[in-house]
A and B are shown apart, each in its own frame.
Chain A
């Protein structure tokens, strides 16, 4: 099944969202040096996966839901969450998206269909299936998108859930963002399919659902592949596993260190662990954000001047997010006990 090319306006929207994710996350990363101590714990960036995120969410409708992992900054931005509230959450402030109780790993915006993010690898996959069961019962043609990494496909939760989702023909699309590394382990070191030179989408075969591998750095290709899977799910034919191949352009996360040690982003594991600087630099040359911009400019869809204007508007938007978050108060101490029970 081949979907029509998105309209020029839609392609500009896609690029805009990709650039918003990138710019937002650059500001997250810069915070470690510009405002040391403001971000605590562990953050995980989606740089390199913007095309995959936006291409997947370009089909999102009212009533659909998305669930993701601790690498969760990109999705809510595309779904319309306020970057001010997102940054305030990452800074642990009262006006954060989750009132400062969740932080970077647990961004959630239920009003916009971004239902939840588990920080435990693979654990969110059955949650997506549960939301899909709800959609199936309601029978309004809604779907659920389940985002997770390649590492999660070695968890029992993945296999148990794909089996049930296929058996029940749940309206869910499993989108595995394969960034080649499970923290500091390469796919070939931990995945029998990868070690045998097979795409990870072959895992779908065990569960009698389509398995598709797509270039996750190409937003149009992702739009097409995920779109076909979503149409299939909406029409009651059940789930699809989409392996979206991306390259994570930052390290897995900021360094893990006890209080007192300033946090920062180290170099990518390809360099620090495996000494493959050329692999990393090739990935940088293929950076999906400037690449898609180049395509849009070259095709006359987005004039270069308009692209510049867009960049500066987004830079301002994210500066405002940082300023807002820095000025947002910390939550009241009483609020620490407010949300354990309904």
Chain B
């Protein structure tokens, strides 16, 4: 185990896989511009390349290289930059295996940061996770800890499908214990970050630490919240969530996305359909407002979920 920041753990995951598999490629903008770049130095300029600002070509090239047998990791920096190349993300990469009746596989990783609510205003702060969730053929992972950042990246690279790997910018320097040895985190296996029997809180990304802080405050009042981090939203470990709901009968879903484009709204629908009978109160969603993220600090803080709103939501359904 070593202490390292979340961002370094992502790199550790890519290194782990590039060392073991010569078919793994890593490329993108503003990366590998000198021979001293750690990845170029380790794996050479054939496998690690800088690209122009051409997201459609970058992702399209990844699709083609993947169909030809390689495992590309595209450094996209920000999730919004995928919007420039939405056709490749949504209507190319995840379609080929299906349309060809399984003749090709498209193993690639689209690595992008999201949710940078640190004054990045309207176009670099989005939480677009749910946008990719509705695309059959894509897998979508959202690491919330340094260890998961490494293990989910490694699993994403080994996966034979296109994977959207969304790391949260607000967690960039968050330190954590990360296993030194080969480390893989399975897809579709939620982590119970804190056990409790009174209420189930489900959160992803940066909302996980916020939910945990809220749970600590609630514990002081004698309310025991169970905090679940799905870690991957495609595949989604609904079983772990539903099992928790069976125990608590009360649910708060926390999501940094706008309410009507959130992962939480999808989980809420599943809970409503499958656990209506055990719910003791309505499912409550604590999400961002349906708004563009404002620049000004107090406004930005106002529109995204925080600990106080999570605590208030729990109080509301425990009344």
By a beta-carbon cutoff of 8 Å, the part of chain A in contact with chain B is: 65, 67, 96-102, 106, 108-111, 115-116, 118, 120, 123, 125-137, 156-157, 160-161, 163-164, 167-168, 338-342
Does the CB pair A157–B57 fall under 8 Å? yes
Q: Write the nearest CB–CB distance from A281 to chain B, whole angstroms.
A: 37
Give the docked Cα–Cα distance between A108 and B96 (Å). 9
B49 within 8 A of A: yes
In the complex, what residues of A have CB within 8 A of residue B161's CB? 341-342
Q: Write the nearest CB–CB distance from A170 to chain B, whole angstroms.
A: 9
In the complex, what residues of B have CB within 8 A of residue A100's CB? 101
Does the CB pair B60–A110 fall under 8 Å? no
Q: Write the nearest CB–CB distance from A49 to chain B, whole angstroms.
A: 22
In the complex, what residues of A have CB within 8 A of residue B70's CB? 133-134, 137
B33 within 8 A of A: no
Name the CB-closest residue of B to A162.
B57
Name the one of B62, B67, B136 contacting A116, with C-beta atoms under 8 angstroms: B67
Does the CB pair B64–A108 fall under 8 Å? no
Does the CB pair B65–A131 fall under 8 Å? yes
B160 within 8 A of A: yes
CB contact under 8 A between A137 and B54, given known A67-B64, A98-B103, A157-B60: no
In the complex, what residues of B have CB within 8 A of residue A342's CB? 97, 102, 105, 107, 159-161
Contact with A along B91-114 (1 / 0, CB 8 A): 110101111111111010000000
The 6 closest A-B pairs by CB, nearest first: A130-B64, A126-B60, A99-B101, A342-B160, A160-B57, A134-B68
B interface residues, how many (CB within 8 angstroms): 45
Can you list 10 residue pairs at the A/B interface with Cβ under 8 Å?
Answer: A67-B64, A116-B100, A118-B92, A129-B60, A133-B25, A134-B69, A134-B70, A339-B98, A339-B101, A341-B161
Taking A101-B99, A127-B63, A133-B70 as given, write out 8 further A-B residue pairs in contact, using a Cβ cutoff of 8 Å, ordered by the A residue number.
A127-B67, A131-B65, A133-B64, A156-B56, A157-B57, A161-B57, A163-B57, A342-B102
Within 8 A of A (CB), among B133-157: 136-137, 139
Does the CB pair B104–A115 fall under 8 Å? yes
In the complex, what residues of B have CB within 8 A of residue A102's CB? 99-101
Name the CB-closest residue of B to A134.
B68
Does the CB pair B60–A161 fall under 8 Å? yes
CB contact under 8 A between A128 and B102, given known A123-B88, A164-B54: no
Contact with A along B44-66 (1 / 0, CB 8 A): 00110101101011111111111
Name the CB-closest residue of B to A100.
B101
Give the docked Cα–Cα distance between A97 and B65 (Å). 22
Name the CB-closest residue of A to B50.
A167
Give the docked Cα–Cα distance between A120 and B99 (Å). 13
